[in-house]
Amino acid sequence: MAIHFQAENKCFTLYTEHTTYQIKVDAHGLLKHQYYGRKVIDTDFDYAFLNMDRGFSGNPYDCDPYERSVSLDTMPQEYTSSDVGDYRLTSLNIMNADGSYGTDLRYDSYEILKGKYSIPGLPAAYAEKSDTVETLIITLKDHGTKTTVKLYYGVFSEKDVITRCAVIINESIAAVHLEKVMSACLDLPFGSYDLIHFHGRHCMERQVERMPVSHSIQTVSSMRDTSSHQHNPFVILAENNTDEDQGDCYGIMLAYSGNFRMDVEQDQFGSVRIQAGIHDEKFSWQLKEGECFYTPEVILSYTNEGLGELSRQYHQMIQHNITRGKYHLARRPLLINNWEATGFQFNEEKILSIAAQAAGLGIEMFVLDDGWFGKRDSDNAGLGDWKVNLEKLPHGIHSLAENINAMGMKFGIWVEPESINEDSDLYRAHPDWALKTPSRRPVRSRNQLVLDLSRKEVCDYLFEQLSELLSSANIEYIKWDMNRSLCDIFSTEQSRDQGETSHRYVLGLYSLLDRLISSFPDVLFEGCSGGGGRFDAGMLYYTPQIWNSDDTDPIHQLKIQYGTSFGYPVSAMGTHVSCSPNMQSGRSTPFTTRAVSALSGTFGYELDPNALSKTEKEEIRSQINLFKQYYDLIHYGRLYRISNPFQDHCFAVKEFVSPDQSEALVNVIATDPQANPPLLHIKFKGLNENWLYRFDDKEMILSGAALMYAGYTIPAMPGDYSILQIHLTHVEEKADE
């Protein structure tokens, strides 16, 4: 069993293959966090933390007046409340019916279930048939306010993952208001940690920053009503000496796509607390008698084998237990998108010309981007009117899809359902469907407003429109875009507190996506928000891949892919070969370099093949062969970050190793060629040290031990942004031991 309960000392121990997580109920019914780390069995960790009388740290009333050592202000806890003596970060803040705050949560009961819990209306990890998963539910109660909190734990034994969420239930006869409700709290009373987080901006997402955890509160958050380009809902706590290959580290990933908050506090005695959940600013939620509130899920993982292994644990979890549907683990089609080739300026003849050239090169899908609908000759009009523009496409989408299918390609299309232009038929008919405050004019972004997805009739309308589109032609791919941050958060739906609108918007989005993917299970949905502005595990539950960034510059992509890879697998990253000079940066790079960079993702093209030379077209054919040859190795192999592009400014190196260790691929890109350079020497990772490996491009065979421990020297790579690919295959002879 993954979950053990010792009734005599009320101790819960959660085991995965390599980790132990322990919770204990103390003599006063307080729920203590005792341990999370490397696997230790048959141990009660109560001995490890000593209670002491601390000045200005009060004691629960039911303690003996002379027992001053028990204090919520110093105790490691599983879930914390406000205004009851713990002055650190709080998980739950409720305004009770009498105007008071706080809940005194005490242990009530527990339940252990086979399988994995689900969360109504929210994405949550699920168990595969081969997984050993159990659920622990611990019930806490405040008998004074009649508040119940249920803490859910999903234990994925083979994945070394523990998921968490909380359910808040109002069992009083009067309504209460949730003003803060976190999904999970993790207390680490000992150790010296760094916080690793992933900041960014539009066109430069998920840049890595590492800083010491200090005696303060460090916050990573978004108030943009999307998880955002600026911060990602995933952080790592790593001991100071942890690197790629060794050291303790904890991952905390929130599966949520709206406003979020992740706080890290080191308290007065050095204990570290981290919490994750919905951002509490501008949030409130009324709970009437008998109602409950479900928090988004947090995905926790730990390893003592460094940041690389932690990443690989998350890659396996997302690929096998988050993404769903037909393309969950199937090879995705190789596509070409017309945006960088045409922008809004296209017609049917131009689109068919691009498609015909692409089909001749072996590309498998054509995706029609923005501009195909409504009065859409720029981004100033048309959003909301999901009817084909017959001036551009006089024979409609059905005919266009048929013609492209006849070329041997699949057909896909771009939509941005969540947004609306004021210059649209939909806005003229339903101006109240846009989010905007009644007292002032709304903020425009990209000359568009946002539809109120917290309203059921809006989601129903979008479902009908998109269902009609998907039923009108053989459409096998949807690129779902969202090109602005939200503000003016006010719903004309008056039956609820406006503090609920932001979260209800996310619930509406999830509900709409779930209905669509259930109704059209063969369609591949790709998420996008101006590139990577909503790149999170919540969206990956509905869309198995997300456009990595609007910046397709292959050298910039090295940093974006690097940061993204700490939590998310290659198979989730939408990456394409684009034009040179690059549309975003103006940089010129060789065609082969653009391809090798894009191969570390779903792979595709953003260009007009009509503008390519004969030599470039032959290169595309070679690139497609590489895509097919290495697809499984890159997408489902184990990723090793050999270099750090934020520190190694001359080269970027990454390695992919097959799960059975029989094959490996190293991609090297020279990012700053040097005169009279030092030798670039790398050490392979993840090979079998007792096996021999053959180099594809030369008559050389070396042992895994030699490649990993003695290393390999990269030949000189002169020229602008040169590339080198090293492919190894296992040969049957064993190396001498």
* Active site annotation includes 616: yes
Local structure of residue 378 (DSSP, 8 states): S
User: How far out from the chain centre does Cα 130 lie?
Assistant: 23
Phi and psi at 265, nearest 5°, equal -125, 130
**Would strands 272-278 and 176-188 be described as parallel, antiparallel, or unpaired?**
antiparallel
- Ramachandran category for residue 513: left, alpha or beta (phi over 0 → left; psi -120 to 50 → alpha): alpha
What are the b/e assignments for 503-528, b being 16+ CB within 10 Å? bbbbbbbbbbbebbbeebeebbbbbb
- Ramachandran category for residue 536: left, alpha or beta (phi over 0 → left; psi -120 to 50 → alpha): beta
State how far the Cα of 644 lies from the Cα of 554, in Å rounded to an integer.
16
Closest CA to 220 of 567, 641, 575: 567
DSSP three-state, residue 381: coil
Tokens 């909301």, residue?
Answer: 384
Closest CA to 135 of 158, 159, 106, 110: 110
Question: Taking a C-beta distance cutoff of 8 angstroms, is the pair 100, 84 a contact?
Answer: no
- Ramachandran category for residue 378: left, alpha or beta (phi over 0 → left; psi -120 to 50 → alpha): beta
Q: Which structure tokens are listed for 141? A: 């109660």
**H or E element at residue 515:** helix 501-519
Q: What secondary structure does DSSP assign to 198-223, as a single string? A: EEEETTEEEEEEEEE--SSEEEEEE-
Closest CA to 369 of 349, 395, 345: 345
Tokens 């970050």, residue?
Answer: 641
State how far the Cα of 195 lies from the Cα of 312, in Å rounded to an integer.
19
Q: What secondary structure does DSSP assign to 238-251, as a single string? A: EETT--SSSB-EEE
Using CA atoms, how far residue 392 sits from 309, 369, 370, 425, 442, in Å, is 50, 13, 12, 18, 32
* Active site annotation includes 536: yes
Q: Sheet with 410-415: list strands edge to edge.
A: 573-574, 545-547, 524-527, 477-480, 410-415, 365-368, 335-337, 604-606, 577-578
Q: Which amino acid is at 507?
A: L
709: how many CB neighbours lie within 10 A of its CB?
11
The residue from 104, 134, 536, 663 that is catalytic is 536
Closest CA to 4 of 93, 131, 136, 115: 136
What are the b/e assignments for 316-349, b being 16+ CB within 10 Å? bbbbbbbbbbebeeeebbbbbbbbbbbeeebebe
Please, how many CA atoms are within 13 Å of residue 32, restricted to the half-sphere of its CB?
27
Q: Which amino acid is at 322?
A: I
The residue from 616, 618, 672, 720 that is catalytic is 616
Residues carrying an active site annotation:
536, 616
